[in-house]
Structure formats: C-alpha cells, structure tokens
A and B are shown apart, each in its own frame.
Chain A
Amino acid sequence: GQQVMQIPQYQHVQEGEDFTTYCNSSTTLSNIQWYKQRPGGHPVFLIQLVKSGEVKKQKRLTFQFGEAKKNSSLHITATQTTDVGTYFCAGPLNGNKLVFGAGTILRVKS
C-alpha cells in the first residue's frame, strides 16, 4: 500500500547542533502533518503544510513541503534538551486515513 517513509531512524546530537528529519511519500499528498512524541508521552500535533513549496517556522523549527508535495522536512536549529522525542510526519493516504511515518528519534546530549 501507499507509504510514508522517514529518515533517519535515530539522531543523536550535541546540544546546540542542528537536526533535520526527512519524510517521503510514495504518492502526492494533499497535506502533510508533523507530530512530536516525548518519551513516555503521546503524539502532539505540531503543524500542517498544504501548499506546494510551503515553508513554515515555529521558533527554532522550520517545516518545508516539497514542490511535488511528495516530501517534507523538519529542521531544528540549535537543539535544546527540550527537543528530545520522536518526530513523526503523517499524510492522508489509502482512502484519506492519516498514515504515519516510522518517526525519527532525537536525542540531545548536553
């Protein structure tokens, strides 16, 4: 079936370094959503991108949606320990249900 793939699976960074996770879909998406799950917590919605080539910022987080609407990225500038968690992208596929990527686990060393 249609899939959403995310890389990398894990990323360990030193506090202050940047971090990027990439998301690719096997098909064009009408929109893409990003969620963050803290250790022991539940996924929390971060943002939604709808337009081709869209870029949105939330403080140190920058989200991009590709021109073809098949890929997306989340970039965190100058990571902090509070950024620790798993970042998921998700897109409506296979009949409009929200399909999640496998997530990227971010660990930040202080």
Chain B
Amino acid sequence: EAGVTQFPSHSVIEKGQTVTLRCDPISGHDNLYWYRRVMGKEIKFLLHFVKESKQDESGMPNNRFLAERTGGTYSTLKVQPAELEDSGVYFCASSQALVYSPLHFGNGTRLTVT
C-alpha cells in the first residue's frame, strides 16, 4: 500500500508570507494527524481529524494556522502569515482506528522561515 505522502518536502519562505502544506494519508485511514518537530525537540501534536471533522485542535499554536480536510481525504495546513518560530518539520500521520492504532508518518515538510 502507498504510504502517507507530504508535499512539499522542503519550503523556504520569508516572514510574513503564506505557505500551504499538503498531506495525503493512507487510503482508508479516517484518522489524520498533524505534528511538528522544532529544532530536534519533541514531536508536538497540532491537531487530529476524523474524516473531515476536527476531533482535537488543541495543539494549534495560534490563529495563523489553519488546517482543512475537505471530503475526508487529503489535508492541508496553511500558515499565514508565517513567523520565524514556525520553522520546523511538519509531519502528517494517519491511522485506521482511534484506539491503540499505531501512526503511519509521512516524510515531513521541512519549513524554514527567514
């Protein structure tokens, strides 16, 4: 089966610009998560979709971040306007069932805000 795919793999933007990250989960996985890893620190939870609904968005840093999952398939994460502290690696992960299911991660998008 195809894994979780993320696009782009790298993005370098200037402070104040907008960036949109995309994630295609494994087909049939209702659960989709966004995580961020900053400067080699812990992998921090951002939000969780179940199909097209936001189940938990408690990890979203502020209203400059907007995630969508129209139709319950792929998801986008938009950062507008980007700030320096938004730099990091953004991982998307998907899973089949909610309870006890391991997460399948994409390769991540490395975002650099200059």
A positions within 8 Å CB-CB of B: 30-31, 33, 35, 41-45, 48, 50, 88, 90, 94-103, 105
Whether the pair B56, A48 counts as a contact (CB closer than 8 A) is: no
Q: Tell me whether B62 is interfacial, beta carbon within 8 Å.
A: no
Q: Are B42 and A102 in contact (CB under 8 A)?
A: yes
Contacts of B98 in A (CB 8 A): 96
B29 interfacial by beta-carbon distance below 8 Å: no
The distance in angstroms between the C-alpha atoms of A44 and B102, with both chains bound, is 9
Per the 8 Å Cβ criterion, residues 61-114 of B in contact with A are: 91, 93, 98-100, 102-108
Number of interface residues of B (CB under 8 A): 24
Chain B interface SS verdict (over half) = loop
A88 to B99, CA, bound (A): 19
Contact B105 A95 (CB under 8 A): no
Contact yes or no, B45 A98, CB < 8 A: yes
When chains A and B are docked, how far (Å) is the Cα of A50 from the Cα of B101? 12
Decide if B107 touches A43 in the complex (CB within 8 Å).
no
- Count of A-B contacts with CB under 8 A? 55
Spell out B's residues near A (CB within 8 Å). Answer: 33, 35, 40-45, 48, 56, 58-59, 91, 93, 98-100, 102-108
Identify the interface centre among A96, A97, A99: most chain B CB within 10 Å of its CB. Answer: A97
- Taken together as a complex, chains A and B put the C-alpha atoms of A105 and B41 apart, in Å, by 11
Q: Are B108 and A42 in contact (CB under 8 A)?
A: yes
User: Could you tell me if A44 and B105 are in contact, using CB atoms closer than 8 angstroms?
Assistant: yes
Evaluate whether A42 and B100 lie within 8 angstroms (CB atoms) in the complex, with A88-B43, A103-B42 already known: no
Closest residue of chain B to A103 (Cβ to Cβ) is: B42
- Kindly name the residue among B42, B44, B98, B104 whose own CB sees the greatest number of chain A CB atoms within 10 A: B42
- Cβ contact within 8 Å between A48 and B102: yes
How many Å lie between the Cα of A97 and that of B43 in the bound state? 12
In the bound complex, residues from chain A placing their C-beta under 8 Å from that of B100 are 30-31, 48, 50
C-alpha spacing A41/B106, complex, angstroms: 9
Q: Which one, B43, B56, B99, contacts A100 given CB within 8 A?
A: B43
Q: Could you tell me the distance in whole angstroms from the C-beta of A64 to the nearest C-beta in chain B?
A: 18
